Amino acid sequence: MEGQGVSCGYPSRIQRIDIAMIYLTRKMEFCASHLYHNPALSAEENKRIFGKCNNPHGHGHNYTLEVTVAGEPDPVTGMVLDLKELKEILEREIAQRMDHRFLNYEVEELKGQIPTCENIARVIFNLLEPKIEKGRLYKVRLYETPELFAECYRNGARPA
């Protein structure tokens, strides 16, 4: 039948569409401190909403970041992207910016935002997305503690 079945050579376009997408995840850790305070609210409201997190001297977390890239393995290398390269991007874009920093004051991209796990995850997604050129950034998951994480997907929506 025309258009179906391939006896030799590269798979047909129809078969290529059937190849399952791969999701590749790299993990890294960093330590940072933060505090929650909204200057638009009164001192009492800040205390009520943010509780201990409103302590003006801040507190620290050991964050765990998981970055997932979606793509198809390259037929030559078998890789969606070079994991060494991804490690370098994470080092340059995230570790150098956020590791051992006071997130409220030292991270330009978080200025004017409360550095919650949610907001940090979104900032990280936006920093990484333009740097990942092979495959595409699918998800950023940021653990603030082993029990709590926030996830950020492209356009804020989890793709089907």
- Choosing from 34, 37, 117, 144, the catalytic residue is 144
The dihedral sign for the CA sequence 12, 14, 17, 20? negative
Active site residue 100: yes
Among candidates 29, 110, 32, which has minimal Cα distance to 66?
29
Would you call 37 a catalytic residue per the annotation? no
Question: Quick one: CA torsion of 10, 13, 16, 18, rounded to 10 degrees?
Answer: -140
Catalytic, 31? Answer no
**Which residue type is seen at 107?**
V
- The label of the residue with tokens 């330009």 reads 108
Sort strands 101-102 and 59-71 into parallel, antiparallel or unpaired: unpaired
Q: Could you say which of 31, 59, 100, 129 is catalytic?
A: 100
Q: How far is Cα of residue 17 from the mean position of the Cα atoms in its chain?
A: 27
Which is catalytic among the residues 53, 106, 109, 151? 53
For residue 132 the two structure tokens come to: 């990942």
- What's the distance, CA 150 to chain centroid? 9
The catalytic residues are 53, 100, 144
